[in-house]
Amino acid sequence: MSTERDDVLHSWCVQADWDAPTIVGGAGAHFFDAAGRSYLDMSSLAECTNLGHQHPAVVRAIKAQADRLCFVTAAWGAEPRAALARALLERSGFEGGRVFFTLGGADANEHAVKFARQAGARPRGLVVTRERSYHGASYATMALSGDARTATQVDPDAFGVVRVPPPYAYRCPFGTDDPVDCGERAARHVGEAIDRAGAGRVAAVLMEANAGTNGIVAPPNFWPRLRDETASRGVYLIADEVMSGFGRCGEWFAWQRHGEDGRPDLMTLAKGLTGAHLPLGAVVLSRDVAARLEHEMLYTGLTYCGHPLACAAGVAALQAYADERLIERSRTLGAWLYRELGALKARHAVIGDVRGGDGLFAVLELVADRASRAPLAPWPQTPPPLRQLLRRALDAGVSFATRGNLIIIAPPLVIAERDLADAVALLDRLLGETSWS
């Protein structure tokens, strides 16, 4: 009899290499396989199960909505859709704005670009994005992303994309060792890129506000400076909060760390929006952007825009974040985690840099040589000793995520303190036992 291994085309892997256990259940920060093994989820799977697995209130809300109404298109009203839009506008302080619902992060980013172009009357306006960024794997979002893995598949010029270097302080493309200077120069460079293209031809700047798949966490001065550079040129700023939202970076939305100085014109959401219990994405538009679209025809849509079941999951998820004070919890545990990872760095020369710590999101960048910062493997390859470390962690019942030379630590915000401490202790041991050369 054939199995999933034979029949399913799996993403981001070589098919012949895929050989994963079948997961049959979960609770809190753990999930369980068909053989009865339990795994501590140190990456919230794809940095999306922020509420943990099978959050009871979210599961209850999905069941209740399924009993009442599974689906109606956006041509009709739906109670959970209205409730979720209201809750998002309130949480983000985008009063007077509007919410467009999608099925995930990539289509949220595509639609944010469409809306920015339409609102700014620049239908084919340029979009400035970062090298080493990830905004999705549809064609348009591959073009928007600065991702080495997919770079050959798409022509960014054809999608009107202009790339700029990232605020990657550890390897600053602007040649400075000072993180604040790196953030300043990276933001200034965006302004210069807009000027070079001509501000009237640029529809938007799209960037991750903090956490992202490529493991770069910008210095804190970057985002507010980016806001200045875009606002002063009349260019919309789109915050991709698909990963950084919903407590991952210690705030509901990562830009909120900078208060009003960080407020974007549009932001995109997915992942933590339902805690991944059902697929859902969203674009939140400011009052100004929404007003510009108010009397214009919107030539776009998705059959499942604002699906009632997914929106009911979203309403329950937002309630759970608030009821269980998970945003604050992420901030507190994130600060603890960051300190502990700093201590690991002092013990293990293979750790070149520790980033993050605003919430339960942290990145360890591994190096072959700390003094020269030589990477263990050329980006985006994952070095074999790191693969081996992951396998051993999995054998010990802990699932860590890696990308290239990075270990990304982003557990569900509900993780027990004891589990978090045990996972860090395991990492400490395995880093010491692995032969890195």
Ligand X SMILES: Cc1ncc(COP(=O)(O)O)c(C=O)c1O
Q: Binding residues for ligand X, per CB under 6 A?
A: 46, 104-106, 109, 134-136, 208, 212-213, 240, 242-243, 270
Provide, rounded to whole angstroms, the least separation between the CB of residue 249 and ligand X. Answer: 11
Closest Cα partner for 40 from 436, 417, 428? 417
Distance, in Å, from the CA atom of 400 to the CA atom of 387, rounded to the nearest integer, reads 10
* For ligand X, the closer CB: 118 or 244: 244
Provide, rounded to whole angstroms, the least separation between the CB of residue 363 and ligand X. Answer: 13
Displacement of CA 187 from its chain's centroid (Å): 20
Residue 428 CA neighbour count, 13 Å, CB half: 15
* Residue number, nearest CB to ligand X: 105
DSSP secondary structure of 274-340: TTTSS--EEEEE-HHHHHHHTTS------TTTT-HHHHHHHHHHHHHHHHTTHHHHHHHHHHHHHHH
The residues pairing with 402 across neighbouring beta strands, listed in sequence order, are 407
* For ligand X, the closer CB: 242 or 393: 242
* For ligand X, the closer CB: 167 or 419: 167
The residues pairing with 103 across neighbouring beta strands, listed in sequence order, are none
Rg (Cα) of the chain, in Å, rounded?
Answer: 21
144's tokens:
């928007």
* For ligand X, the closer CB: 106 or 113: 106
Provide, rounded to whole angstroms, the least separation between the CB of residue 295 and ligand X. Answer: 30
Provide, rounded to whole angstroms, the least separation between the CB of residue 345 and ligand X. Answer: 25
* For ligand X, the closer CB: 26 or 104: 104
Displacement of CA 64 from its chain's centroid (Å): 29
Closest Cα partner for 329 from 421, 413, 241, 418? 413
Cis peptide before 264 (omega within 30 of 0): no
- Show the DSSP H helices in 36-78 as ranges: 44-47, 56-68
Q: Are 320 and 55 in contact (CB under 8 A)?
A: yes
Provide, rounded to whole angstroms, the least separation between the CB of residue 49 and ligand X. Answer: 13
Q: Are 53 and 27 in contact (CB under 8 A)?
A: yes
* For ligand X, the closer CB: 407 or 430: 407
The residues pairing with 351 across neighbouring beta strands, listed in sequence order, are 366
* For ligand X, the closer CB: 194 or 207: 207
Provide, rounded to whole angstroms, the least separation between the CB of residue 270 and ligand X. Answer: 4
Provide, rounded to whole angstroms, the least separation between the CB of residue 408 and ligand X. Answer: 11
DSSP-based three-state secondary structure for 388: helix
Q: Are 150 and 181 in contact (CB under 8 A)?
A: no
* For ligand X, the closer CB: 240 or 340: 240
Provide, rounded to whole angstroms, the least separation between the CB of residue 12 and ligand X. Answer: 10
Provide, rounded to whole angstroms, the least separation between the CB of residue 142 and ligand X. Answer: 11
Closest Cα partner for 160 from 130, 129, 121, 115? 129
Distance, in Å, from the CA atom of 283 to the CA atom of 269, rounded to the nearest integer, reads 6
Provide, rounded to whole angstroms, the least separation between the CB of residue 48 and ligand X. Answer: 8
* For ligand X, the closer CB: 206 or 426: 206
* For ligand X, the closer CB: 270 or 431: 270
